[in-house]
Structure 1
Amino acid sequence: MKIAMVAYEVYPFAKVGGLADVLGALPKAIEKSGAKVAIFMPFHKVVVKNSQKFGYQLTEVAKSIPVENVQTKETFDLYESQLPGSNVPVYLIANEYYFSAENVYEGPDLAEQSIFFCAAFIQAMKHLSQQFDIVHAHDWQTGLVPVYLKTLYRMDPFFTRTAIVFTIHNLGYQGIFSPNYMKFAGLPGYLFNIDGLEFYGKINFLKGGILFSDIVTTVSPTYAQEIQTEEYGEKLDGVLRLRSDDLYGILNGIDYEEFDPATDRRIYVNYDLNSLEKKYENKKMLQRDLNLPVKENVPLIGMINRLVDQKGLDLIEKIADYLFLFDLQFVVLGTGEKKYEEMFQRLQQKYPDKVSANIKFDIDLAQKIYAGCDMFLMPSRYEPCGLGQMYSLRYGTIPIVRYTGGLADTVKEFDPETGTGNGFGFREYDPAHLLMAIAKASYFYRNEKQHWKRIVQNAMQTDVSWERSAKHYLRVYQEALKKRRV
């Protein structure tokens, strides 16, 4: 089976969020199964800088390729590289006008940028004379790929055997634009209706991906159910219910080779299940480096997040003064909305022995937090999958979560009677329930050392690998081939 994956960011070429981690790891896991995978992405400005940092090569394979259908004179150059640690080719679509911004998700016109990329991806496959069994598109920026393939390229013999899988990583980001872009995209006017791209008088790229794909997936089983409800559906719940027979929730995974406390060079001291005492060495050094008092029996809680409403930060704001009546420490790493950046900075000033606010992006510090903290906090309002809780499980740092989306699929409440479970959590989005979950975790940490050791062991033995997820994707690809719609 041959699979073409198309996305806007791929680690280590360009990374903003979890999508890059998925595209940097899932293809490798699928390749190990014997399938062939190729990745297509934009040649972002940061790609050259990262090539020097990560040591991959970039080779130009074609110049000035025109795109069909799109109302533009812009062409693209095509480059080839390889996903580090694999044989997976990565093809990069270069255009100085559309992909020259410093940041991945910036550009002169985001709608035109997406349209151009979708059309160029199709031309790149044809230029390379590579026919794929599966085209697997990710998120709204690639939402018009299924639309093009099922309309303008419907009778093209090059794509006769190709089935389309479309993955929603976060339904909150949809790509909603003026209907005027229909003309620029070269799409027929009949698509602008409620059964097509029309969405409250505009066009919705994500909706196009959902409606025109053979199979739709999202990043956890629970989230696949949630997004079919009005509460979580972001006004697309009706469309998703329409596709419910073709909608699958497949949990993301993490790269076990890169994220391994036994070999991770970014943490202070390596450890594994048989040397958990070394985890405390990481805690001491992290406390020292963050200018927190070095205390063994004080719970150290970490949080690494985009500082935005989705992440449940309003709950933390409401309980902060009650929370820090407890003898505990809290470290946060991330950037985002100014109100939350300032909130954590104020808390650090008010509680300098208990709070460390690191308002920045620092991948090395992130690893030290995963390894050095006792607990990891994710009280999200919604969370399609979440990777933070997976990293924390891998490093034996116990997650405290709101049971929603992928958090509900990966974290199970610890039961002292059976010794099962790998974390703590709450369901109702309420500050009191968050406070109780933190208090419960802190109690076990302080007073039930044998139980705590069992929780850590359970966490580190939880399977959150991509190998597990890759098997699910391969089954879905086979289903897509059976359901392929003309």
Structure 2
Amino acid sequence: MKIAMVAYEVYPFAKVGGLADVVGALPKVIEKQGAKVTLFMPFHRVVQKNCSKLGLTVESVAKSIPVPSLQTLEKFDLYKSHLPGSNTTVYFVANEYYFSAENVYEGPDLAEQAIFFSNASLEAMKYLSETFDLVHAHDWQTALVPVYLRTLYRTDPFFSKTATVFTIHNLGYQGIFSPQYIKFAGLPSYLFNIDGLEFYGQMNLLKGGILFSDVVTTVSPTYAQEIQTEQFGEKLDGVLRLKAEDLYGILNGIDYSEYDPATDKRIFANYDIEHIENKKVNKRELQKQLGLQLREEAALIGMINRLVDQKGLDLVEKVADLMMMFDVQFVVLGTGDKKYEEFFMRLKEKYPDRVSSNIKFDIDLAQKIYAASDMFLMPSRYEPCGLGQMYSLRYGTIPIVRYTGGLADSVREYDPKTREGNGFGFREYDTAHLLESIAKAVYFYKHEKAHWVQIVKNAMSSDVSWERSAKQYMRVYQEALKKRKF
């Protein structure tokens, strides 16, 4: 099976969030199932910098390829490299006007960028004369790929046997724009209706991806059920219920070759499940680096997040002072809403040798926090999948989560009677239940050492690898080929 994956960010070429990690890891495990994967992504400015750092060669493939369907004279150049650790070729769609911003999700017009990239990816496939059994598009920036394949390219012999899979990574981001962009996209005007791209008077790209794909996936089984409800459906729950027979939830994984405490060069000291004591070295060295008290007995709680409402930070803000009444230290890494950035800086000022607030994006520091922390806080209001809890499990750092979405699918409450479970959590979204979960974790850390060692070993034994999900994706791909609507 030949698969084309289309995504706006791919690790290690460009990374803003978990999407990049997913698309950077999935092709490697899909290859092991016997499929051939080819990636298409924009040639963001940061791509060349990252390729240079990694020693990856970027080759020019073609210049000035037109995109005839669009109401624009802009053309694109095509470059290629390869995904490290795989046989996957990566093609970069380059255009100075649309993809020259310093940040991946910035530019002159976000709608035009997404439309241009979606259509240019299909034109790139045609230029390469490489047919694919299936195109797998990720998130709203690529949602028009299946729309194009079902409309403008419907009778194109090149794509006559191509099935489509569309993955929703976060339903909260849909790509909602003025209906004027339908004309720019060169799409027929009849698509602007309730059964097409129309959404409360606007054009909704994500809705198009859902409706026009053969199969839709999202990033955890629980989230697949949640988004069909009014509470989590972001006004698309009705559309998703209509698509229920073609909607699958597949839990994301993490790349074990990239995230391994036994070999990770970004942490202070390597360790594994048989040498957990070496984890203490990471804690001590991080305390030194961040100016925290050098106290092994204090429970070190880490949090690495986009600082936005979705991540449950309103709860954290309300319980912070109560949490600090326990014998804990707290390390935060991330950027986001100004109100939360300012709150965490005030918290650091209030507890200067117990709180470290790092308002930035720093991959190396993130790894050190995963390795050094005793616990990892993730009380999300909703969480499609979440990768933070998976990294923490891999590094023996015990997650404290709200059981929603992928958090509910990957973290299991520790039961001291059976000695099973790999974390702590709560279901009701309120401060009392969050504080209770934190208190429970701190109690086991400080007063039940044998149980704590068991929890850490359970965490590190948890299967959060991609191998677990690869077979599910292959089954979904086969289902998409059966459902092909051409």
For Structure 1 versus Structure 2, the TM-score category normalised by the shorter chain is over 0.9
Gap regions ≥5 residues in structure 2: none
Give 1:338-353 correspondences, 5 Å limit.
Answer: 338-353=338-353
The one-character-per-residue Cα deviations of 1:212-249 (angstroms, maximum 9, x if unpaired) are 00000000000000000001100000000000000000
Query: Could you report, residue by residue, the CA deviation over 1:148-174 in whole angstroms, capped at 9, with x for unpaired residues?
Result: 100111111111111000000000100
Following superposition, the deviation at residue 353 of structure 1 comes to 2.5
- Where do 1:336-485 residues align within 5 Å? 336-485=336-485
Amino acid aligned to 2:222: T
Aligned residue in 2 for 1:29: 29
Distance (Å, rounded) in 2 between the aligned partners of 1:28 and 1:90: 12
1:30-429 superposed matches below 5 A: 30-429=30-429
Distance in 1 separating the partners of 2:438 and 2:376: 10
Q: Distance in 1 between matches of 2:297 and 2:218?
A: 40
**Contact 1:335–1:361, Cα closer than 8 Å, also in 2:** yes
Is contact 1:312–1:378 with CA below 8 Å preserved after alignment? yes
Determine the C-alpha separation between the residues in 2 that align with 1:16 and 1:176. Answer: 20
Cα distance in 2, alignment partners of residues 293 and 94 from structure 1: 49
AA matched with 1:403: Y
Deviation digits for residues 289-346 of structure 1 (CA, Å, limit 9, x no counterpart): 1111111111100000111111111101111111111111111011111111111111
Using the alignment, how far apart are the partners of 1:111 and 1:300 within structure 2?
42
The whole-number CA distance in structure 2 between the counterparts of 1:255 and 1:62 is 32
Letter in 2 for 1:81: S
Judge conservation of contact 1:400–1:437 (CA < 8 Å) in 2.
yes
* Inter-partner Cα distance in structure 2 for 1:336 and 1:324: 23
Q: Secondary structure at the match of 2:274?
A: helix
Matched residues in 2 for 1:202 and 1:360: separation? 34
Deviation of 1:472 after TM superposition, in Å, equals: 0.9
Gaps of 5+ in 1: none
Question: 1:179, 1:64 → 2: CA distance?
Answer: 28
- Which residue identity does 1:406 align to in structure 2? G
**Aligned counterparts of 1:180 and 1:308: Cα–Cα separation in 2:** 30
Distance, in Å, in 1 between the alignment partners of 2:73 and 2:225 is 43
Residue 2 of structure 2 corresponds to 2
Identity of matched residues, %: 76
Distance in 1 between the 2:398 and 2:252 partners? 19
AA paired with 1:15? K
C-alpha separation between the residues in 1 aligned to 2:36 and 2:210?
Answer: 25
On the 8 A contact 1:286/1:372 being kept in 2, the answer is yes
Name the aligned partner's letter for residue 170 of structure 1. N
Supply the distance in 1 between the matched residues of 2:64 and 2:362 (Cα, whole angstroms): 37
- Report the RMSD for the aligned CA atoms in angstroms: 0.7
| Alpha-carbon distance, 1:33 to partner | 1.7
Write out per-residue CA displacement over residues 117-174 of structure 1, whole angstroms, 9 at most, x where no aligned residue. Answer: 1111111001101110110000001111111100111111111111000000000100
SS in 2 for 1:273: coil
CA distance in 1, matches of 2:4, 2:352: 50
> Bigger shift: 422-431 or 294-303?
294-303
State the AA in 2 paired with 1:185: A
How many equivalent residue pairs?
Answer: 486
DSSP-derived class of the 1:114 partner: helix
State the 1:23 CA deviation: 1.0
Q: Take 1:288 and 1:153, find their aligned partners in 2: how far apart are those partners?
A: 59
What letter corresponds to residue 261 of structure 2 in structure 1? P
CA offsets, 1:8-35, max 9 Å, x none? 0011111111111111110111112221
2:106 maps to amino acid: E
Preserved CA contact (<8 Å) 1:42 1:99: yes
**Which runs of at least 4 in structure 1 moved beyond 6 Å after TM superposition?**
none
CA deviation map 1:78-99 (0-9, x unaligned): 1011001111000001111111
| 1:354 Cα offset (Å) | 1.7
TM-score of the superposition, structure 1-length normalised? 0.99
Give secondary structure in 1 for the equivalent of 2:294: coil
Note if contact 1:68-1:119 (Cα within 8 Å) is conserved in structure 2: no
CA–CA separation in structure 2 for the residues paired with 1:114 and 1:327: 48
SS in 1 for 2:306: coil
- Once the two structures are TM-superposed, the CA of residue 361 in structure 1 deviates from its matched residue by 1.1
User: What code does the residue aligned with 1:420 have?
Assistant: E
**Counterpart residue identity of residue 342, structure 2:** E
Compute the TM-score of the two structures, normalised by the length of structure 2: 0.99
Deviation at 1:211, TM superposition (A): 0.1
Deviation at 1:68, TM superposition (A): 2.3
SS of 1:274's equivalent in the other structure is coil
Contact kept in structure 2, 1:282 and 1:372, CA below 8 Å: yes
* Aligned equivalents of 1:336, 1:55: Cα separation in 2: 31
- The DSSP-based 3-state class of the residue aligned with 1:382 is coil
CA contact (8 A) 1:10 1:21 kept: yes
